Amino acid sequence: MKTQLILSISVAAAVSLLASCSSTKVQPDTYDNSETVTIFKIDSASATASNEGSYSEEKLNSARSFSDKLLNKNKYDKKEEMTCFLTPTLGKPFARKGAFIHKNGTDLAGFFILYDTSFYAFYLAKNERASLVNAVSRYIRDFDEKNLDSKLKKSERAYGQSAAYEEFGIAEPMMTNFSKPTVYFGYKFLKGSPYFCIQVAPAENLAVNTKSDGAVKQSIGQRYFFTKAQAQALAAFLSEENISRYYGSGLETDLNDIQADSY
């Protein structure tokens, strides 16, 4: 009886978890230029490749206490809900809810979402966030000026590539795996409608000895698709103007720049 009760509770918890990450209905974009769109400011630093320090272990864990690291807690803060379209390994594209996130004490931000059977926390550091914001600006401009080509090969890589960082696992408290994949920015037509696209290449799982039996050897390839409104929301959240509020960039001022009191 006790075993049955525990099993029932576990099943109920799993159903509740999947329901919270369930698909949602989102209206696809119609491809016309009748709407007024926002073009985000382009940062010239966006083309700069990130160095290893952007995703170093020291930086990633700088704001976490010993107990946080031991219990795998407080790896990020969820800021607000987001949605995008996924293309699972098996099946057709569908919309799914996730959350915008920021990694405490760092310039890393991105989104948290269930992809196939694992949860992923996808992050970009400052320069890479600028690259994404620029890519969204180019996409919106191309959309508005009708420059998107449904027959273009590798259109999912039309706006360049970037480094990234991901944490993943089969449940949110068990996201102990991590990788540093290459990501590509571009667009893709699905059922006649264009979407901004983030394509994440498979990458080695750096958390374990991948030669061990049963080890998760790598993160899977992922493709995230965004309507124009979803892409604008993503770029607005990941902009340096927004994320700097969370980690203090630009909030420190040199004493020489402040008018001192005369005494």
Check: CB of residue 194 under 8 Å from CB of residue 28.
no
CB neighbour list of residue 71: distance below 8 Å, 6 or more residues apart: none
Contact 231, 139 (CB under 8 A): yes
Residue range 62-86: mean pLDDT, rounded: 74
Top mean pLDDT of 3-17, 150-164, 196-210 is at 150-164
**pTM value?**
0.76
First to last CA, the chain: 79
- At 2 the pLDDT is 41
pLDDT value for 155: 96
CA separation (Å) from 179 to 55, 115, 128, 255? 10, 15, 16, 40
Residue range 102-152, pLDDT digits in tens:
998 899 999 999 999 999 999 999 999 999 999 999 999 999 999 999 999
Q: In the prediction, which pLDDT does 44 show?
A: 35
Please give the average per-residue pLDDT across 199-203, as a whole number. 96
How many alpha carbons lie under 13 Å from residue 13 in its C-beta half-sphere? 8
Cα 28 to the center of its chain, rounded Å = 21
Provide mean pLDDT across the span 240-260: 63
SS3 238: helix
Q: Which residue has the higher pLDDT, 223 or 32?
A: 223
Rounded to the nearest 5°, which phi and psi values hold at 24?
Answer: -140, 155
| Helices and strands of the chain, counted as H and E runs | 6, 12
Helix (H, G, I), strand (E, B) or coil at 204: strand
User: So where are the chain's domains?
Assistant: 66-247
> Are 43 and 240 spatial neighbours (Cβ–Cβ below 8 Å)?
yes
Fill in the DSSP letter of residue 49.
P
Contact criterion met (CB below 8 Å) for 109 and 101: yes
Mean pLDDT of 205-232: 87
For residue 255, the model assigns a pLDDT of 38
Model confidence at 246, pLDDT cuts 50, 70, 90, reads confident
Tell me: the pLDDT tens digits for 10-41? 434 443 444 444 556 677 787 754 443 434 44
Q: To the nearest whole percent, how much of the chain has pLDDT over 90?
A: 54
The span from the CA of 62 to the CA of 57, in Å, is: 8
Q: What are phi and psi of 97, to 5 degrees?
A: -85, 145
Q: What is the mean pLDDT of the chain?
A: 79
Residues 199, 191: Cα–Cα separation, whole Å: 18
Tell me which residue has tokens 């919270």: 20
